[in-house]
Structure 1
Amino acid sequence: MTIQNTSSKESRLERGQRALEAIDGKAGRNVIEALADIAPDFATYLFEFPFGDIYSRPGLSLRDREIATIAALAAMGTAPPQLKVHIEAGLNVGLSREEITEILMQMAVYAGFPAALNGLFAAKEVYALREGGEEGASV
């Protein structure tokens, strides 16, 4: 699955909004809504650059992009809310729980056990929310 410009008239903002909805669903909307009262322009930047430009490029599927994103966020160890959003996104674009768990376990080798543990606990929380019928990790 890829998100590319389907119309020469589609703006970066429109393409980014479409991509965010396809990838993150409710979790993405939660992030945008949380920015509304503090930095609405930043929400526009999120739509345009990461989703309208980068996620919409050919070359990698959305699934592959989420593997890279989950690994990077877990390795950083400083972005648990964003990691949860992207674990949710990974599930939305076809990653299985087992694959996400393996990605996070792999981080123990390159980012250390604390990063892997934090990632696994973030995944556990997302999985539990999904089992409870609540989709979309919060900010």
Structure 2
Amino acid sequence: MHSENPPPLASNDSRHERGLRALAEIDGEGGQKVVDALADIAPDFARYLVEFPFGDIYSRPGLATRDREIATIAALTALGHSAPQLEVHIQAGLNVGLSREEIVEVIMQMAVYSGFPTALNGLFAAKRVFAESSCETSHAK
């Protein structure tokens, strides 16, 4: 599990290589499944998905990976219409050391800013992920 700041960006490291490493570390199989699912319809979009969010943004120093996942879970919950992406990032949160309780608290916090319906949708997404997850993290780190 990686919850510290990513290492500084190496100038000889391609965005794609950096992105693939970050994607594997954060999302594991879930992220690669998304990339693979796009291969036959939009391979360029799959490359953009690896390079920009993961190769450029997630790989930046200055914010720990676990904190980036808190922000992502909060944002996707607040959107209210991104359940598949939210589920991938809830699993990613578990992968990088967030506890189930922390994830639930982040989602509940969004009721204040985006309403009860989005928080309910987020909590049900978390329930689905927790039921399927092999990560048994249950205490805050």
Structure 1 pair 121–20 and aligned structure 2 pair: CA distance change class (3 A): same
- Displacement of 1:10 in angstroms is 1.1
SS state at 1:2 partner: coil
CA distance in 2, matches of 1:69, 1:16: 17
Aligned equivalent of 1:60: 63
Give a deviation string over 1:98-118, Cα, whole Å, max 9, x none.
000000111111110000000
1:75 correspondence with 2:78: yes
Q: Is the 8 A contact 2:8 2:61 kept in 1?
A: no
- Displacement of 1:130 in angstroms is 1.1
Q: Which sections of structure 1, spanning at least 5 residues, go unmatched?
A: 134-139
Structure 1 pair 110–44 and aligned structure 2 pair: CA distance change class (3 A): same
- Aligned pairs, how many? 133
Aligned equivalent of 2:92: 89
Q: Which runs of 4+ in 1 moved over 6 A?
A: none
Give a deviation string over 1:73-132, Cα, whole Å, max 9, x none.
000001100000000000001100000000011111111000000000000000001159
Counterpart among 83, 87, 106 of residue 109 in structure 2: 106
Q: Which sections of structure 2, spanning at least 5 residues, go unmatched?
A: 137-141
Cα RMSD for the two superposed structures: 1.6
1:18 correspondence with 2:27: no
Structure 1 pair 77–126 and aligned structure 2 pair: CA distance change class (3 A): same
Aligned-pair identity (%): 68
Aligned equivalent of 1:126: 129
Counterpart among 7, 16, 29 of residue 4 in structure 1: 7
CA distance in 2, matches of 1:15, 1:83: 22
Aligned equivalent of 1:136: none
Give a deviation string over 1:42-67, Cα, whole Å, max 9, x none.
11101111100000111100000000
